Amino acid sequence: MKDLKRVFKQIDDSTEMMVALQTALTAVPAIAPESGGSGEAAKAELLEKELHRLGLTDTQNYPAPDERVPGRERPNIVASLPGPKKGPSFWIMSHLDVVPPGEESGWQSDPYKLVRKNGRLYGRGTEDNQQGMVSSIAAASALLTLGLRPSRPVKLLFVADEETGSEHGIQHLLANTELFDEGDQVLVPDGGSADGSMIQIAEKSLIWLRFQTLGKQCHASTPDQGKNAFLAGSELVCRLSELRELYSQENPLFDPPRSTFAPTKKEANVPNINTIPADDVFYLDCRVLPEIDLDALMARIADICLEVEKKHSVTVRVSTVQRVSSPPTPEDAPLVASLKKVLPLVYDVKPRTYGIGGGTVASYLRNRGIHTVVWSKLDETMHMPNEYCCLENMLGDAKIMAALMLGE
C-alpha cells in the first residue's frame, strides 16, 4: 500500500504531462479511409516518440497492410513495461483512430485544438480513446519513475481501425501474430459509466439480417394478377416479432435483460403508387443473449420465412450482413476480482459487473479465450460535438491501472 500511495502521488504530479500529451495527440487527426482520412500513421509516430521520451523504449509495431493509406500500412504499437519475464501478461488496449468531427457548427472550438476549461479537456478523441491511452501511459511512466516493477509483464497496446471494424487492428493481430498467451488478461478502457462502478464482462450476440421478398409486379388496380412482395415482407416483419416471445428468457447482467429483434432499415421498392412491387427489402437488428444457440435461432427464422413464402407465393431470401458473438468473461476471472478490489481505492463506488447490447473489440479477444473486461470512468461524450475528457477521470483511471499493474 505504501508503494501505491507513492504511485498515486506521482500520477497527480504528472497532470501537466498528461494534458500536454492529450494536446499533442488531439492535433493529429487519425481518421480511417472509410471516413475520408489517411489513417493513424502520423499519430502513431508521435505517440511512439512520446513513449520513448517517457522511458517506455521497448516498443514494437505490427502494421496491417492497407493500400488505401499513405505508406500502405496501419500501425499497431505494443509498448512493454519491464517486469517478470515469465507468466501471463496484463494488457491495456486503447485505439489510435478517431471519428470525424461532424458538423463544425456544433463545436464551440476547433476539434483538433485541445481546450482546457473547468477541469475538462475538449477536442476530438480526448475521451474516445485518448483518455484510456494517456491514463495507461501515465500509469506505466509512474512505475518507471519510481523504480517499481509490475507484478507481471505489462503490455500497452495501441491499435488501429477500432472505429470501422478492427480489420486492420485487433483482428489483424489475432490472425497474424502470436502476441497473446494463455492466461493473458486484457483491460479495454473504452466504455464504462459516469461513476466508474461498471465492469463490462459480456456482450449480446449481434446479428444483422437482410430480408428480400420476391413476387410478381402488376398494376395496383388488378392486384390479384401479381404477387405483392411488400405485403409479404410486411407480414414477415410482423411474424418475426414472434421471436421476442420464443426467446423470452432473461439475464439480469443486461439492460434490457432479454434478447431484442428490431426491424430497422427499409429499402425503396417501386417509385409510383399504382404498381404492385415485385421486390421488397428490409433489415432486422438482433441482439441475442449469449446463452442462446444462434444456429437454432437462424433455423427458426428460416421456418417463419418458409411459412410466409407459402402463404403469399413469393420467394424470401435471407442474408447475414453481420454476425458476431463471444462468450462472457467469467464473473470470477482474476481481472474482474482485481478491479472490484482496487476501484474503491480511487472512486467511492460499489463495483458491479454488467453486459451490453452493442459490440466492442473485446468480443474478438473473448472468442480466443482471453479474459477481457471493458472499464473506464467516462462522461460518454464520444462521437459528440464538443467531446471532452474529464481531467479527474483521466487521473483516476491512471491510478486504477497502476494498481492493477502492481497487483494490488
Q: For the purposes of burial, counting CB atoms within 10 Å of the CB of 216, is it exposed (0-12), middle (13-18) or buried (19 or more)?
A: middle
Alpha carbon distance 184, 254 (integer Å): 26
| DSSP track, 332-381 | T-HHHHHHHHHHHHHSS---EEEEESS--THHHHHTTT-EEEE--B----
Residue from 379, 380, 377, 382 nearest 401 by CA:
377
Residue from 155, 120, 195 nearest 405 by CA:
155
Alpha carbon distance 378, 396 (integer Å): 11
Q: Does residue 308 contact residue 280 with C-beta atoms inside 8 Å?
A: no
Q: Does residue 54 contact residue 61 with C-beta atoms inside 8 Å?
A: no
Q: Using alpha carbons only, how large is the chain's radius of gyration in Å?
A: 24
**Amino acid code (one letter) for 273:** I
Active site residues: 97, 162
97 Rama sector, left if φ>0, alpha if ψ -120 to 50, beta otherwise: beta
Partners of 279 in the β-ladder: 214
